[in-house]
Structure 1
Amino acid sequence: MTSASNEEPSANWGECMEAAVEIARKAGQVIREAVKHDKCVTTKSSAVDLVTETDHLVENLIISSLRAKYPSHSFIGEESSAAGEKCCLTDNPTWIIDPIDGTCNFVHSFPMVAVSIGFAVNKELEFGVIYHCLEENLYTARKGHGAFCNGLKLQVSKETDLSKALILTEIGAKRDPETLKIFLGNMERFLKAHVHGIRVIGSATLALCQIAAGAAEAYYQFGLHCWDIAAAAVIIREAGGNVIDTSGGPLDLMSRRVVAAGTQEMANHIAQMLETITYERDDYNANNL
């Protein structure tokens, strides 16, 4: 039986998406101003897992604004989770927020920086908003309504030949020798398959938007979080693409692994070639209390 908290008509999710667009633009303004100045940088899980005062400021801005509008909704935020809040996806309408995707880029003023806001109901993703704030490109998608960038419809690449593919990935914060060996081995496998190229741009959400836009054929990563993939998964699917687990099965938002591609054939081919890098699930602590 559906709980009372998620009995709102689905038409309301469009209103929620409009609220997400509005707050993403406001957050982008804060980030555009902050990137011009010196940053106070600290670390989280490792020396390369960076966080700034702007990450916290922007997350607080987004969550406080949305909570004022939707007090019964749930929230998962990157910095809140890093501070110890449970990362738990329930049937309740849930906002999944990355205040600054590409914090390392932000620290160095490298322009691939985005705000990402995903929204799920009954554990199903309903819409996604990603704002490439330094370039002012707004990516949006709502389930069943298509995907757009600045109002222009997005369409994935329909290439199925791996040797004609441009593949995107990210290194991740885990840099121990065994992880690096597997990461480089996966990359070597694709290079030996004569893919056109491999790119690392430092922002998972913006890399995934390139799949939706047809600018690259596939993306894979181990070690990303639910807030890196939630909004982008809707955008890719609504652009005609596929988002799956690296095992080849359905996407598990909390598994910290993903393959995205324009076609199912390409997604399956990528998944079959990957050696797994193991990460603790995002909901591990929530499931083990």
Structure 2
Amino acid sequence: MSARTPSQADPVDLMQARRVAIDAAEAAGALLRRRMCEPLGVRAKGDGVDVVTELDTAAEALILDRLRAAYPGHRVVAEESGVLEAADGGDGDMVWLVDPLDGTNNVAIGMPVYAVGLALCAGSVPVLGVVHDPVTARTWSAARGQGALGPDGARLRLTGPGRVRHPVLAWTQGHEVGRGDPVALRLRTSLEAGCGRLLQLWAPLVAWVMLARGDIDGIVGYRPEIVDLPAGALLAAEAGAELRRLDGSPYELDIDLPPADRGFVAARPDLMDSLLETAAATVNGARPV
């Protein structure tokens, strides 16, 4: 996708878009809860270890129907359907990213750790993010420059110091990262050696919510997937988390970035320097395959 900016003829009311996205995410969550105990049709996705189920496609279809009805002039990038051009034939300067079931591998083995994520981008820049947890029926959302909101409508704000000596971190990597990738191996090992606990949830959106709430201290991502990144990253950033590239430079979230440029460190501001020291030293010492 090209890094376009929205046209003046296509304004978007972010409050209204937030309501549409929350309604769609919560409807998909209700579908997932209702059908979670039914037999699942699971099949391999691509050449890696990722899988897709009938729940993914059913939840995605529900979300797409709602987004298309509310915003026919918007493009959509969906986890299972790929890129869908504007339904009304417009240029689609506004783009929705849809992850109907983040954590499919967890669901496939009966582990209830998953989420629904939607993000709205102006051109290639995320301006709205919504994350819904079907397990607890709770929803978090954020609009660029307007803060992050929790399930009760209260502002989310990271307060107090993090765990400086033994931080609790989460790790995420893209599906195409090979098992022998030297950067991933060294970075994950270095982080685990210096933290109290390193979570590998297989559901990045759940980790982003945990960071925004202050439950964990940081997240490190290596070549992450793009469909679930904007919603979670915007939520954490609007709650007060800081984001940097793995080399320590500023992180500008752009959905057109290639996987190699999406790596990040997201953390409480008071812990960022120590995490970057580990990340930068590791990345500079190994080359990806």
Q: For the aligned residues, what is the CA RMSD?
A: 2.7
- The percentage of counterpart residues that share the same residue type is 22
Deviation at 1:190, TM superposition (A): 2.5
Corresponding residue SS for 1:7: coil
Secondary structure, counterpart of 1:187 in structure 2: helix
Deviations along 1:6-31, one digit per CA (max 9) or x if unpaired, are 53445x12111100000111100111
Residues 141 and 5 from structure 1, CA distance in 2 versus in 1: closer, same or farther, beyond 3 angstroms? same
**1:130 to partner: Cα distance:** 0.3
- Residue 155 of structure 2 corresponds to residue 149 of structure 1: no
| Within-5 A mapping of 1:1-289 | 5-10=7-12, 12-81=13-82, 85=83, 92-150=93-151, 151-156=153-158, 159=161, 162-170=164-172, 172-174=174-176, 176-179=178-181, 181-193=182-194, 195-249=195-249, 250-252=251-253, 253=255, 254-256=257-259, 257-263=263-269, 266-274=271-279, 275-276=282-283, 278=288
In structure 2, the gaps of 5 or more residues are: 86-90
Distance 1:80 1:247 in 2: 33
After superposition, what is the alpha-carbon deviation per residue over 1:157-215, rounded to whole angstroms, capped at 9, x for unaligned? 55367423111113553464422x5434223322433x222112221011011111111
Helix, strand or coil: the match of 1:54?
A: helix
Matched to 1:217, the amino acid is: D
User: Would the alpha carbon gap of residues 71 and 237 (structure 1) be closer, same or farther in structure 2, given more than 3 Å must change?
Assistant: same
Is the CA contact 1:43–1:50 (under 8 Å) kept in the aligned structure 2?
yes
Given that 1:101 and 1:204 are in contact with CA atoms closer than 8 Å, whether structure 2 keeps it comes out as: yes
In structure 2, do the counterparts of structure 1 residues 226 and 6 end up closer, same or farther at CA, with 3 Å as the change threshold?
Answer: farther
Moved over 6 A (4+): none
- The aligned counterpart of 2:88 is none
Give the whole-Å Cα distance in 1 for the aligned partners of 2:115 and 2:216: 18
In structure 1, give the amino acid aligned to 2:272. A
Structure 1 residues without counterparts, runs of 5 or longer: 280-289
- Look up the equivalent residue of 1:267 and give its one-letter code: M
Tell me the distance in 1 between the aligned counterparts of 2:154 and 2:32.
Answer: 24
Aligned equivalents of 1:121, 1:4: Cα separation in 2: 5
Between stretches 221-230 and 16-25, larger displacement belongs to 221-230
